[in-house]
Amino acid sequence: MKPEHEAWLRLREHAASQLSPGFPDRVLRAARADPSPLFVTQFAMCIATAALCLFGVLLFHAQGSAADEASNRAGWSEISAQASDLDQGL
């Protein structure tokens, strides 16, 4: 018999002593309860949240860019109008 053999037996005994009375009934109750969300579900929720945040950032950025572009266009139109007025004046 290997020297560790006795130790393995003790290990199992010790581990078994950690189970409190009524363990099988508690397991059965837990098994009947609603299953906790799967990792895949949790991961999908994370991806969906990240996608929503990214969409929000892009939308905010796009709106900001559009406003900047409109203001730049207006500025350039004004400069262009002033330049053509000056041309006509010459």
**Which residues of the chain form contacts with another protein (CB under 8 A)?**
3-4, 6-8, 10-16, 18-20, 23-28, 30-31, 35
d(CA 7, CA 56): 60
For residue 47, the Cα-to-chain-centroid distance in whole angstroms is 5
Smaller CB separation from another protein, 24 or 89: 24
- State in angstroms the smallest separation of the CB of 23 from another protein: 6
Residue number, 32 or 86, with CB nearest to another protein = 32
**Comparison of 22 and 89: residue with beta carbon closer to another protein:** 22
Q: DSSP characters for 26-40?
A: HHHHHHHSPPPPPHH
CA dihedral (19, 24, 29, 31) in degrees, to 10, reads 90
CB of 57 to another protein, least distance (A): 23
